[in-house]
Amino acid sequence: MGISGIHPGTRNEIGISAMAAALKKRFADRFQTGQAIRAQHSHTTTWVPSQLPDGVVFVESTDDVKAIVRLAAEHEVPLIPFGVGSSLEGQVNAPSGGFSLDFSRMNKVLSVNPEDLDCIVEPGITREELNAYLRDTGLFFPIDPGANATIGGMASTRASGTNAVRYGTMKDNVLAVTAVTADGEEIRTARRARKSSAGYDLTRLLVGAEGTLGILTSVTLRLQGIPEEIAGGYCNFPTLKQASEAVIMTIQLGIPVARIELLNTPQVKACNAYSKLDLPEMPSLFLEFHGSPASVALQSEAFREIAAENGSSGFTWTRNPEERAKLWKARHDVYWSAKALRAGGTVISTDVCVPISRLADCVTETERDIEEHGLLGPIVGHAGDGNFHVSLVIDDKIPAEIAAAEAFIARLNERALAMDGTCTGEHGIGQGKQEFLEGELGGSVGIMRQIKRALDPKNIFNPGKIFALD
Amino acid sequence: MGISGIHPGTRNEIGISAMAAALKKRFADRFQTGQAIRAQHSHTTTWVPSQLPDGVVFVESTDDVKAIVRLAAEHEVPLIPFGVGSSLEGQVNAPSGGFSLDFSRMNKVLSVNPEDLDCIVEPGITREELNAYLRDTGLFFPIDPGANATIGGMASTRASGTNAVRYGTMKDNVLAVTAVTADGEEIRTARRARKSSAGYDLTRLLVGAEGTLGILTSVTLRLQGIPEEIAGGYCNFPTLKQASEAVIMTIQLGIPVARIELLNTPQVKACNAYSKLDLPEMPSLFLEFHGSPASVALQSEAFREIAAENGSSGFTWTRNPEERAKLWKARHDVYWSAKALRAGGTVISTDVCVPISRLADCVTETERDIEEHGLLGPIVGHAGDGNFHVSLVIDDKIPAEIAAAEAFIARLNERALAMDGTCTGEHGIGQGKQEFLEGELGGSVGIMRQIKRALDPKNIFNPGKIFALD
């Protein structure tokens, strides 16, 4: 993590003042500079300290975005796009000041094409708003990072979540974007065809760029048919290793499991306490299957055999929507279950991702680390992807606890990299993971900097995120 | 297409001579300059005229590639990576001269990780070599563009093929690459984790870059378990529209069909004649299902209902490997079936891709165009992706026929773009599709040029491909 990794930034005071005046003139009440609203727009959901923007513009159209980018280029002032502020690594902070672009009013569905299973949306729509809109079409957008994030934010951090094991991540589900680039013009990165070999894949360059290369103005998404049947269940194993072996076999056999989540024993205990469940307090998998009733039956039967083969004492499953909802509500509430472990505690949610063959080792070593250092940190993972989260619970008013958490996170990332993994499976680099990026990707970071300099020569797009330029 | 679109290039004679001498010194017999070998390395499988490199280096290691890139940077001379020469849009031509890097000796499997379903290979291995190597592991690499292309070439053109509908394209199946960049150093774009949010997605920037941003030295691939059962079949429909509706319903219902290929009536006739089949001469679908026996049975039963609902007179299917192989051999031989339609004919294989809701319209209008202009061009499509090929058969010694083919291809691409499609679903831009790229992606092409200039300031990597720089 590293508060140490956070670039202090240098402020262009003259440019910021001049641009604030120009924004006031053009946007009137849609430009806000009050302390509370600025603080809200640098809210980081975690312990990364807030760095407030100098003001917030509520954008309503691509023309608004173009005008703001042109002003920013003229005055050389940073722009920070803002969705709902659910990012976890300081992505919405303003280390060099500048202006936050609030996309909450650019939240329209622009078109839905049921035959092509796609839609075009403005970036400010949240995934729940989108799915509510889509319900009558029989389609849904599957990516579910837990938080009710915006599509623009999810695209920008290359988000994924519990059902990426079946439906992929944002990289797989964004077909095209439009974005305003440094010259203040809008580009469209791809047509609506399902695939293309036409030139560089700018779609996937912008997905995961955390707003550092341009500002998204629309996103074309791949949709899925709502499954005829959804069934879920859980099972527990004597060891993490056995749970993990069951996951590997499931993936190897090509069972199209929709979600397969691993909870370690402390996490199961936390869920039992917070969500009033009585799950056996052992390493557990939560599962979900999507498909026709016959296909779901086949999938869960195949999984039951795998679980038994790997020492599970039984697989409890249900087609009852309420029971299923209760289980997944508990899964989605792991943040709160961790927070409830300690009165006044702050949760630091951090993620790494390793090849699935190393998942059990990585989680087991991390459990040992937590124990040895007397930390509190239940673990939950998107096991089918080898991606897991530690919810560290600390008192962030005690410097020694912050230091201990930082040291733990550094060890966690080194461990993941030593296993050929990544320092972030789905949260992004932002400010918090910068110190690990070079160790992970070496010379590739130099190539990223070259791209950044070429596409954003004045460094106006979310500067100080992913990497420092100097 | 457009031979008109082919940049003549300017040659750096002094640099080329100096570099040839340096290559001779370092590589001795592994550097070849004979006419025949140079001609073979600019073979383009289609009518794009050959532009020969000045020599061919048979590379054997990353160190070889680094040394060559450093020489090319020093002398400002073009480098053109070469796999087997199965690309279709002039990707291996040398419009400004320079040197071809033959990767046939860099064809090793570097590692296979069965638990993680991935492997790392050198770029010169062909997909058939890889699948032969993998057979005993129970895994396979699914992407099948028809030709026995190299993995490096397939990555570079963002290839896909018949089973992309289930397994995705190269963009979905390349987890990471290593590449030598313009400074002569090797970068690795990602670790072996299944997903990552760590910085810009350089993997997908290099996939599809046609060798214009760096030279691949290894490719990490996602693998699949060999399905327990594979079943295939075909069915025919009174109209293309009905065949296409059946495809749309199949995709909408989430049936995980592994291949679903559309053949128009002229293509079915050509297959019957060439491959000695007696398929009803109507618009047809060829299908393949992968999975457990129970899952395959479910899938094909579900498809049978869909086919009937859309007016098919019946769905003939088989689990017999020989019958299935015969059918798919015919599908893979469509190039030869087209060639056989006319003695001495040359086949121009061109591809476009549209949203699947427009596939029937696009194919039907294209059929009408072919008929109105008295052309010969059966059509086959990867219907689940909206991607189709026309195999134009012409006599390329008759200028009027070339002109007619060029005009047809221009109309075909305009039609696809008007339907929000792309000028190439899987062949790439190379030289042949350059004139359509700007119309498809507008200002995005300017962004691509900025990236090219930033990462390859001396324009040594496959210059003149995808777009001209000036």
Q: What is the 3-state secondary structure (H, E, C) of chain A?
A: CCHHHCCCCCCCHHHHHHHHHHHHHHHHHHEECCHHHHHHCCCCCCCCCCCCCCEEEECCCHHHHHHHHHHHHHHCCCEEEECCCCCCCCCCCCCCCCEEEECCCCCCEEEEEHHHCEEEECCCCEHHHHHHHHHHHCEECCCCCCCCCEHHHHHHCCCCCCCHHHHCCHHHHEEEEEEECCCCCEEECCCCCCCCCCCCCHHHHHCCCCCCCCEEEEEEEECEECCCEEEEEEEECCCHHHHHHHHHHHHHCCCCCCEEEEECHHHHHHHHHHHCCCCCCCCEEEEEEEECHHHHHHHHHHHHHHHHHCCCCCEEEECCHHHHHHHHHHHHCHHHHHHCCCCCCEEEEEEEECCHHHHHHHHHHHHHHHHHCCCCCCEEEEHHHCEEEEEEEECCCCHHHHHHHHHHHHHHHHHHHHCCCECCCCCCCCCCCHHHHHHHHCCHHHHHHHHHHHHCCCCCECCCCCCCCC
Contacts of A200 in chain B (CB under 8 A): 205, 208-209, 213, 448, 451, 466
**pLDDT of the residue at B44:** 67
| Calculated CA dihedral for residues A29, A32, A37, A42, nearest 10 degrees | 140
A232: left (phi over 0), alpha (psi -120 to 50) or beta: beta
Side chain identity, residue B310: N
Q: In angstroms, what CA-CA distances link B207 with A204, A298, B175?
A: 11, 36, 10
> Quick check: A151 contacting B, CB < 8 Å?
no
Q: Provide, rounded to the nearest whole percent, the portion of chain A with pLDDT above 90.
A: 91
Number of neighbours of residue B335 by Cβ within 10 angstroms? 17
- Number of CB pairs < 8 Å for A and B? 291
Q: In angstroms, what CA-CA distances link A322 with B139, B223, B258?
A: 39, 37, 34
Q: In angstroms, what CA-CA distances link A36 with A46, A53, A448?
A: 18, 11, 35
A207–B443 C-beta distance less than 8 A: no
* HSE of B338, CA atoms in CB hemisphere, 13 A: 27
Question: Which residues of chain B, if any, have pLDDT below 70?
Answer: 1-8, 44-45, 470
- A344 with A250, same domain: the answer is yes
Distance in Å from the first CA to the final CA of chain A: 20
| Domain assignment present for B455 | no
> Quick check: A230 contacting B, CB < 8 Å?
no
Whole-angstrom distance, CA of residue A268 vs CA of residue A213:
41
Contacts of B426 in chain A (CB under 8 A): 195, 197
- B88 with B114, same domain: the answer is no
| Domain assignment present for A460 | no
Taking Cα atoms as reference points, which of A124, A395, A373, A167 lies closest to residue A260?
Answer: A167
Whole-angstrom distance, CA of residue A265 vs CA of residue A242:
13
> Quick check: B155 contacting A, CB < 8 Å?
no
pLDDT tier at A7, thresholds 50, 70, 90: low
ipTM, 2 dp:
0.97
Task: Express each pLDDT in A77-111 by its tens digit.
Answer: 999 999 999 999 999 999 999 999 999 999 999 99
**pLDDT of the residue at B1:** 40
Residue B417 dihedral angles phi and psi, to the nearest 5° = -65, -35
**pLDDT of the residue at B318:** 85
| Domain assignment present for A181 | yes
Whole-angstrom distance, CA of residue B346 vs CA of residue B394:
5
B453–A455 C-beta distance less than 8 A: no
- A132 with A203, same domain: the answer is yes
Number of neighbours of residue A461 by Cβ within 10 angstroms? 27
A181–B422 C-beta distance less than 8 A: no
Whole-angstrom distance, CA of residue B176 vs CA of residue B217:
11
**pLDDT of the residue at A138:** 94
> Quick check: A91 contacting B, CB < 8 Å?
no
Residue in B closest to A465 by C-alpha:
B199
Residue in B closest to A448 by C-alpha:
B200
pLDDT at residue A175 greater than cutoff 60: yes
| Domain assignment present for B450 | no
Query: What residues make up the domain containing B359?
Result: 229-432
Residue that terminates a domain, selected from B88, B104, B120: B104
pLDDT tier at A314, thresholds 50, 70, 90: confident
Taking Cα atoms as reference points, which of B404, B417, B397 lies closest to residue B376?
Answer: B404
> Quick check: B222 contacting A, CB < 8 Å?
no
Q: Which positions 182-211 of A are in contact with B (Cβ < 8 Å)?
A: 185-202, 204-205, 207-209
Residue that terminates a domain, selected from A225, A254, A288: A225
Q: What is the CATH number of the domain that holds A294?
A: 3.40.462.10
Average pLDDT, chain A: 95
> Quick check: A404 contacting B, CB < 8 Å?
no
Contacts of B354 in chain A (CB under 8 A): 193
| Domain assignment present for B470 | no
| Domain assignment present for B444 | no
- A28 with A167, same domain: the answer is no
Task: Express each pLDDT in A130-142 by its tens digit.
Answer: 999 999 999 999 9
Residue that terminates a domain, selected from A70, A104, A138: A104
**pLDDT of the residue at B7:** 59
- B27 with B81, same domain: the answer is yes
Positive/negative CA dihedral, B349, B353, B359, B363: negative
Whole-angstrom distance, CA of residue A199 vs CA of residue B9:
20
**pLDDT of the residue at A125:** 98
- A53 with A154, same domain: the answer is no
Tell which of B116, B195, B289 to mutate to test the A interface (max A CBs under 10 Å).
B195
- A296 with A195, same domain: the answer is no
pLDDT at residue A188 greater than cutoff 60: yes
Q: What is the CATH number of the domain that holds B24?
A: 3.30.43.10
Q: How many domains does chain B have?
A: 3
- The rounded Cα A344 to chain-centroid distance in angstroms is 25
- B148 with B192, same domain: the answer is yes
- A287 with A170, same domain: the answer is no
> Quick check: B453 contacting A, CB < 8 Å?
yes
Question: Contact A158/A179 with Cβ under 8 angstroms?
Answer: no
Tell which of A111, A119, A189, A197 to mutate to test the B interface (max B CBs under 10 Å).
A197
| Domain assignment present for A457 | no
Whole-angstrom distance, CA of residue B348 vs CA of residue B366:
15
Contacts of B292 in chain A (CB under 8 A): 298, 302
Q: Which positions 284-343 of B are in contact with A (Cβ < 8 Å)?
A: 290-292, 294-295, 298, 302
Question: Which distant-in-sequence residues (6+ apart) come within 8 Å of A170 by Cβ?
Answer: A143, A154, A155, A157, A158, A159, A160, A207, A208
Taking Cα atoms as reference points, which of B129, B251, B413 lies closest to residue A225?
Answer: B251
A195–B353 C-beta distance less than 8 A: yes
- B320 with B243, same domain: the answer is yes
A355–B116 C-beta distance less than 8 A: yes
Q: Which positions 384-403 of A are in contact with B (Cβ < 8 Å)?
A: 385-387
Number of neighbours of residue A263 by Cβ within 10 angstroms? 29
What's the average model confidence in pLDDT over A39-55?
87
Q: Is B132 exposed, middle or buried (0-12, 13-18, 19+ CB in 10 A)?
A: exposed
**pLDDT of the residue at B132:** 98
Q: Which positions 29-88 of B are in contact with A (Cβ < 8 Å)?
A: none
Whole-angstrom distance, CA of residue B174 vs CA of residue B182:
22
Whole-angstrom distance, CA of residue B121 vs CA of residue B125:
7
Side chain identity, residue A101: L
Whole-angstrom distance, CA of residue B280 vs CA of residue B265:
9
Q: What is the CATH number of the domain that holds A186?
A: 3.30.465.10
**pLDDT of the residue at B357:** 96
Q: In what order do the strands lie in the sheet with B379-382?
A: B315-318, B229-236, B284-291, B259-263, B379-382, B387-394, B346-353
Whole-angstrom distance, CA of residue A177 vs CA of residue A158:
13
Residue count of chain B, please give it: 470
Our CA-based measurement puts residue A34 at a distance from the nearest CA of chain B, in whole angstroms, of 33
A115–B357 C-beta distance less than 8 A: yes
| Domain assignment present for B156 | yes
- A319 with A377, same domain: the answer is yes
What's the average model confidence in pLDDT over A338-362?
95
Whole-angstrom distance, CA of residue B437 vs CA of residue A31:
39
Question: Contact B152/B162 with Cβ under 8 angstroms?
Answer: no
In the structure encoding, which two tokens stand for residue B51, read together? Answer: 């532009």
Tell which of B196, B361, B389 to mutate to test the A interface (max A CBs under 10 Å).
B196
pLDDT tier at A44, thresholds 50, 70, 90: low
* HSE of A167, CA atoms in CB hemisphere, 13 A: 28
- A252 with A127, same domain: the answer is no
